[in-house]
């Protein structure tokens, strides 16, 4: 059964909420329970998004999109090169 997926912006907000609750003297287990996620999810999020601001998160998304676009361009060019080398050899 799949649960709902939180957007990265929401994840950053929830991580900040846990930090605030911990600052008020609440334990990690209680704080995580209050934001509605498991401790495993909290630690995974903290590993992935810990210490990020919204601007950094936005920049990360932009870089991931650019990386995907560049990978696709490289694979297309590699395929074109392979086709051209095969055609250049010919069946002579």
Can you give the pLDDT at residue 91? 62
Provide mean pLDDT across the span 71-89.
93
Can you give the pLDDT at residue 89? 87
Can you give the pLDDT at residue 15? 92
Residue 32: pLDDT band with limits 50, 70, 90:
very high
Can you give the pLDDT at residue 64? 93
Mean pLDDT of the chain, nearest integer: 89
- What are the boundaries of each domain within the chain? 1-52, 55-92
DSSP conformation class of 3: -
Can you give the pLDDT at residue 3? 66
Output the CA angle 72-75-92, nearest 5 degrees: 150
d(CA 61, CA 41): 20
Answer yes or no: are the C-beta atoms of 16 and 6 closer than 8 Å.
Answer: no
The CB density around residue 14, as the number of other CB atoms within 10 Å, is 21
Answer yes or no: are the C-beta atoms of 56 and 15 closer than 8 Å.
Answer: no
Note the pLDDT tens digit of each residue in 35-59.
Answer: 999 999 999 999 988 888 888 888 9
Which helix (H) or strand (E) is 29 found in, with range? Answer: helix 28-35
Answer yes or no: are the C-beta atoms of 12 and 57 closer than 8 Å.
Answer: yes
């Amino acid at each position: 059964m799949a649960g709902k997926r939180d957007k990265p912006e929401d994840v950053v907000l929830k991580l900040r909420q846990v930090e605030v609750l911990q600052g008020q003297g609440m334990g990690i287990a209680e704080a995580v329970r209050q934001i509605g996620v498991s401790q495993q999810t909290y630690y995974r999020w903290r590993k992935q998004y810990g210490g990020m601001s919204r601007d950094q998160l936005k920049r990360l998304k932009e870089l991931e999109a650019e990386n995907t676009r560049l990978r696709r361009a490289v694979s297309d060019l590699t395929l074109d090169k392979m086709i051209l080398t095969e055609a250049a050899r010919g069946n002579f």
